Structure 1
């Protein structure tokens, strides 16, 4: 008997981890530290919320079906912003707005892959990418990263087969936090082009990159759209996670196929969230710069505070954007350790086993810490509790 599409993959990791909280109480002097999900916990700034309220109250068209590929003004503004950041030429008809960046990935895979095709994913991988490939009947080919958690293009080349349709990268990386150097991204672009496959580059956390300037030169290639599929999210930049606004930037021909997927799944992205994203790009540049600086401050707190854990056998494997990826010093698998940490330390985080193939031993030694909802003092408290673990 064949499995249903959803039965081919695992339970959503963040929801699975939340179930560990059932029956556990947290005293007032030691509240739960939730570092399991990479999302801002505060609402959008007041000015943006006012814009959203005004749109809801005064724009009748915001309550109707909109264009399948998104508001023209938003597509045009994102095209210009993308070109300004990366160089090169990007036009509005190469941009589609989606209901979150996960939907952008799903739509692109639907245009690229058929049953039994393959997509190369560096490990540790973003679990929602793996889940969608599972449910699409697409084989996830694990590309094990090096000690610095960066993937090797030469190793990737050995994994390409006649059924390979794409290589999918995430930078800054989820779950590892590492930022892929521009030269490395360019090498993967060249590899994909040589083999006639797509390079899917998910840059959800681009706005929190530690370096200034373009993260890579790919858009400078006048023929970038024959290989590159760029994914982006407004959710983290403008705290719009609940409004689901993402984007895909790719060729016009591929967008014609993306449109089929989007029209079938959601008909159109939510209108109010799109208006919020548009106003945010037009008015919140300085505010977003402050948000980025705060994330960089928290990253620095991870780096400067980690030696106390390093002395206890922990290792900081990667840090950046919203994430720190660490190796623990215990014999116990991270799958069990993470659940123990809820009960004993009041910490909810995700084990590395959720980001790796079942037979990969690396995941058992690793944990992901999503620190975007912890300020620098909160990171200090987190480290105090981690230092108390005995397993």
Structure 2
């Protein structure tokens, strides 16, 4: 065995150490740590007590959950494929469409893992820069049109964008759908954070036959560790993706029961969650405004997170991340999302208990001061 530890092992041990940190404040992965709705907990307990986990789930998901997902998205006639997290849905789509000689077009910043899946299949990944106030930190139809051609098989749109938190309008989604249709590409609309946004418009409404939506229960419902998500598409696309799906024995039974219970109480639950989320963002906004050089380039965010820009304050994002880690608080460095712009910002999650954010804000002046002097940093992922 090599004496040099692989990057994969270093990465795993990094997160293993975070997971083993007693009372860690998870403020870096956009996960939801607000206490679960009683109905969701009860559904999981009933499933465990009934021993449902002894058997496999249906390969496409329980029919009641599939129907509830389609109804919640407001796309009658579409079909839902339940997956092991939203990331698995995106892996299935990339596996089905990407191959050598094709292009996968997205933004920069974006969510990194679908880019990896596309490259694994041999596709060229094209990232259109949007970290710029000149374009309001968003993709424009003109920019997208300039980067697609007959080789483009997927246009991947994270909306609201992770990490920026911008949300596209109905008109923008319709324009993107038209561009995808003209070049023969599939519009993949990653709607992981749609439930934190006002006025979100799923691409299936604009392109019922030419788009697919990916969804996650990790963020709004707080089920990140249970790995439950879905893709939703017209019947023909659904059949295509079902043929290339890797979760052939179904997603977690317990997770599916929790997801179904969550959808049944979603209106009540998200009213609570979004109220806490908004208040947390306001606290961070006030704390950042008090420190010269720090800023929130996008405020308010349509996701359950904020980008905190550090470059004008003379602070390396990685140094600020390390200072907070030593205090038992996890935030995320920008390079997780983008090599091109990652030296400008950190990302802070806001769907968390208010005391976590209060502590983050109280420590901010001291952490910034410490970060300016911190040079020797361990690897971060």
TM-score above 0.5: yes
Cα distance in 2 between the residues matched to 1:13 and 1:253: 42
Residue in 1 that maps onto 2:149: 161
Cα deviations by residue, 1:149-193 (Å, 9 ceiling, x for unpaired): 211221121111332111111122211222223332222122212
Instruction: Spell out the pairing of 1:380-391 with structure 2 (5 A cutoff).
Output: 380-388=361-369, 389-391=371-373
TM-score scaled by length of structure 2: 0.83
Cα distance in 1 between the residues matched to 2:50 and 2:262: 19
Deviates more, 1:342-351 or 1:66-75: 342-351
Residue in 1 that maps onto 2:376: none
Cα distance in 1 between the residues matched to 2:17 and 2:343: 18
Cα deviations by residue, 1:343-380 (Å, 9 ceiling, x for unpaired): 777653222222124xx2x2222222223335252342
Residue in 2 that maps onto 1:341: 323
Cα distance in 1 between the residues matched to 2:9 and 2:194: 24
Tell me, yes or no, if the aligned pair for 1:74 and 1:274 is still in contact at 8 Å: yes
Cα deviations by residue, 1:67-93 (Å, 9 ceiling, x for unpaired): 21111111112212211xxxxx423x5
1:377 to 2:365 alignment: no
Q: Aligned to 1:95, what secondary structure does the other structure show? A: strand
Q: Aligned to 1:180, what secondary structure does the other structure show? A: coil
Cα deviations by residue, 1:239-261 (Å, 9 ceiling, x for unpaired): 22222111111121222122123
Instruction: Spell out the pairing of 1:1-391 with structure 2 (5 A cutoff).
Output: 15=12, 18=15, 34-42=26-34, 44-58=36-50, 60=52, 63-83=54-74, 89-91=75-77, 94-145=79-130, 146-147=132-133, 148-209=136-197, 211=198, 214-216=199-201, 218-221=203-206, 224-262=207-245, 264-309=246-291, 312-318=292-298, 319-328=301-310, 329=312, 333-335=316-318, 337-338=319-320, 340-342=322-324, 347-357=329-339, 360=340, 362-373=341-352, 375=354, 376-388=357-369, 389-391=371-373
Cα distance in 2 between the residues matched to 1:323 and 1:292: 12
Gaps of 5+ in 2: 1-5, 374-381
Cα distance change on mapping 1:171 and 1:79 into 2, 3 Å: same
Tell me, yes or no, if the aligned pair for 2:33 and 2:353 is still in contact at 8 Å: no
Cα deviations by residue, 1:188-221 (Å, 9 ceiling, x for unpaired): 1222122221111111111111x2xx41264444
- Using the TM superposition, give the Cα deviation of residue 106 of structure 1 relative to its aligned residue in structure 2, in angstroms: 0.7
Gaps of 5+ in 1: 1-6, 84-88
What number of residue pairs does the alignment pair up? 359
Cα distance in 1 between the residues matched to 2:162 and 2:9: 15
Q: Aligned to 2:166, what secondary structure does the other structure show? A: coil
Cα distance change on mapping 1:355 and 1:97 into 2, 3 Å: same
